[in-house]
Amino acid sequence: MKPPPIFTLTGNLLWEKTFTFTDWSPGRTQRAAAESFQVGGKGINVVKMLARFGVPARALCFPGGATGADCLAWMRAKKIPCQAFPVATPTRTGTVVRGGRHGETTFLGCDAPPDAPALRACAHFLGAQPSGAALALCGSFPGWDSAAASPLRAAFGHWLARGGFLAADTYGPPLAWMVRRPVPLVKVNRVEFDGLFSSPQRRTAVAVRLRRACERWPVKAWIVTDGPRPVWLAEKNSGRPIALKPPPVREISPTGSGDVLLAGVLHAWLHCGATLAEAVAFALPYASANAARPDVAEFPLNNLPSSLSDID
């Protein structure tokens, strides 16, 4: 049987420059030793990694202006399949600074919500997809609660009603919307998961709160990441939460490791017939390998599991 296509939706595309310094300090003119350009956006990263797995996938995004054109040209050069819904506002910009005594620092430009025509076009595109397709909402989505986004929210609701697979790796209003629906998978980091609970509740263990989340919300499965610390996962009505430890690595840049993890989980779960625990165990070495490199989803695949049978 032909595997279902996977779509990712990035609501906040990023034109991003990285400057690498031998050393730098605030308050002075700095001269970089190297610079590079890349497109930021969690959904872009997921599709980039899915392509390395040989999985049919496409990144949906909202490019605008000259910066948006640069992003599309970069994705074409990288052979990242994408579906663009152009907007009037230029794509936001960002700068990553690496090197020296300071940790990697990212500066982001102002968010720009996709405009109404682009949101309607995206909603129409999703409505035309086969019921067996999978969709992942990745990253922040400015304007999710706006009236302009109502066609897109309706398309997501229709996607679920048709039995389509929907994953959420988001935060803020989109996450609050997702957890109130029977979404097959919510994958969030520890900070985003904490945000779903009151301050007193956050003092309880993740495992306890995961059990409460399974009881409180209709979400079918949860993954909670926490950097190099254990990843927690739980499925509704299927026992207690479990934790899996990522392989230790010397971290160069954590950027995109959660996206690589999601790509591995989707590949193993949807295309290889893995259980959720097997899918996370398969994906974790890839996420760690990503953290040990400066670029997203461009690490060597040597010594990484090529199939579920390679997992201990």
170-213 per-position pLDDT tens digit: 999 999 999 999 999 999 999 999 999 999 999 999 999 999 99
Tokens 């420059």 identify what position?
17
**Domain limits for position 96:** 6-19+36-300
**Residue 312: per-residue pLDDT:** 60
State mean pLDDT over 81-103: 91
Given a cut of 90, whether residue 294 has pLDDT beyond it is no
Closest CA to 297 of 51, 54, 97: 51
Within a domain: residue 199?
yes
What is the tens place of the pLDDT at every residue in 32-58?
Answer: 999 999 999 999 999 999 999 999 999
CA distances from 214 to 108, 223, 238 (A): 34, 12, 10
E runs forming strands in 164-263 = 165-169, 185-189, 221-226, 229-235, 242-244
Given a cut of 70, whether residue 299 has pLDDT beyond it is yes
Within a domain: residue 148?
yes
Q: How far apart are alpha carbons 29 and 38 in whole angstroms? A: 23
Closest CA to 142 of 155, 127, 152, 154: 152
Within a domain: residue 28?
no
State mean pLDDT over 215-236: 97
What is the tens place of the pLDDT at every residue in 18-38?
Answer: 999 888 888 888 889 999 999
Within a domain: residue 26?
no
Within a domain: residue 192?
yes
Within a domain: residue 30?
no
Q: How far apart are alpha carbons 86 and 92 in whole angstroms? A: 13
Based on its alpha-carbon atoms, the radius of gyration of the chain, rounded to whole angstroms, reads: 19
Total count of domains within the chain: 1
**Residue 281: per-residue pLDDT:** 97
**Residue 239: per-residue pLDDT:** 77
State mean pLDDT over 235-256: 92
Within a domain: residue 310?
no
State mean pLDDT over 270-284: 96
**Residue 1: per-residue pLDDT:** 60
- Domain of 121, CATH number, reads 3.40.1190.20
Given a cut of 90, whether residue 132 has pLDDT beyond it is no
Tokens of 281: 């165990």
In contact, 12 and 42? CB cutoff 8 Å: no
Within a domain: residue 196?
yes
Given a cut of 80, whether residue 156 has pLDDT beyond it is yes
Cα 266 to chain centroid distance, Å, stands at 11
pLDDT band at 253 (very low <50, low <70, confident <90, very high): confident
Helices assigned H by DSSP within 137-237: 150-161, 173-178, 190-194, 206-216
**Residue 100: per-residue pLDDT:** 76
Lowest-confidence region among 33-37, 137-141, 215-219, 262-266 = 33-37
